[in-house]
Structure 1
């Protein structure tokens, strides 16, 4: 009995000794293991070269015929294009070699190559072969100039050995030259001292080409007859190198010395002292507020009253006022224009806008209005001014 009791006691003691203490995990030997991680940061410079062009957009022909003292709003468009050139390509980053095993490993000199064949020099700060302790990391840096902006893959490789084992570890990183890290002359300042900036629009293509359009305008007027040339120059200055460029546009202006030229009723409606266009002082020779015959309205009011329902009185009055202002502005007339004006003055001295007219009289008034309309539009007489 004592014999079996002794055996059972020995077995129980052996079982108790083979159990790990509570809360302690057993150690697992993983041997030798190495990993490689890699970064690749592309860098390059983008330099812009700018060109400029300037055009007259109104008048589209680039020529004007004006009466003495008449103003015209000339409009210009300035077109700029910034064309990029990329250079100074390089890639830089780190190669991180990690000993993820439980034993020291011996590293041979790592290599770093690009998919286009270039060899990259690594700066690891140690001599090889190099012993990398278990759980430790070795970081290498690099910076490599490249001949072009081609996309590439960068691969770093290291051979290692330890604890009777050996192997090769590698890491890759791809990169593309999409966003420049340095931009030279990426924008411009545009000035046009002789004109006023109205609006500007810009855009950029996926290839980086920048387009910008600036819209300018200026008033042109000459008090004396003659032939004139209006030159207008815009200048740009780049943001980095302060490089300058310019472009000019020309408008040729003719102010007839004999006979003048005519303007439509639409011009005279908007160029009184009430606006909205700049004042044409020819109006001062009549006076916007002067009573228009026996109408009970002023010249200005009659000109702005719509001939609703085909009112012959206002149709004739509009053309009459425009013709009178054209003559005061220096335009010569023709016998048929003079006859139409004389008839109109007799008509306005007799009738009011609200009077009922016979069909024959209304048609006669509209016929003389058509003659004066042809005169005001330059179809007869000295010709039409630019508006």
Structure 2
């Protein structure tokens, strides 16, 4: 009886030693943690042969600088050159690694690797590109029953006449039966060969061209322009530039081009600039300017001839006097305010009456306006210098010239001919308290400069 009991105990011990480890393994190797499984693993593979082109674009201008007086025109030629580089062939295989979590636990530490194998002459497959990781960041954990496909790309250098396939490894660290270790399926793709011809990319490009014409100028034609090119290409734009209104300035004419590669969308830009200098407008009396001018004495004695919009009886700024009253007020002791006011009133009326004011005269009018509006301050010498410029304009030495006696008050008469030369020496301000005074500081009048005959 004791012998039989001993035999039963030994057999029971053997059963426990066999069953319990298996149960522990099923439950996570004794840790009480269940695993999961990976199922339906597969790999797709599509080969690509690309032929890529890269482009450059340049632009030049001829000439690169111009001098254009007001009213003048000139031609500019812009040249656009687009170069398509030599083709570059590249090869790659793209595809997806797909897998499903067939268990009831989320996956842990999912990792996918792929490599490219090749075969020639019916021999075994050999490694062409070694193992590389597939990005799984889009789905790092697969829930129970969940499937997902992970894309990959493998660039490679082809082997002549070879067949290819992609090998893969899909592992997790909580696979049933292999907890704590990287384990999973290793599916292969179907075999494939390279395409018979390349897929061309960026074999064409679009060119867009724009012209920025400076203010005061007219450019013809003015654009924009667009072309599609398929190879090396050169184009030219003939632009006529006309100076409509600009004097005494330097501006830029800019022609810009953008080349866009049609497949990749990569852009390349270039531009060319023409510097245009506009000299001073003519200041010779009657030199292409409109109208003519009268002196302050004329306007003082002909109130009925004042142009529309200007009343002799209007108040002159904050002087407390009318415009005509200021003209009748002598600049006692060389008062620079009234010296300037007399010439300012005459100049403003001459311009309103149709006389063209050169740049220097308009600048003096603007400065005097700010002075009378009390928005700027100026020294006595500066005020007298403005008066001198306006006096030369009113008396016909600058601008379109003095009106003839037959022109009346409408500004329609012709400029007086036989006047002084174009360049006039400036009058030096003087102290009106001294007996000898021949400059704009003279309280009686502004003396004309001496002109060599």
Q: TM-score higher than 0.5 here?
A: no
Task: Select the structure that is richer in strand.
Answer: 1
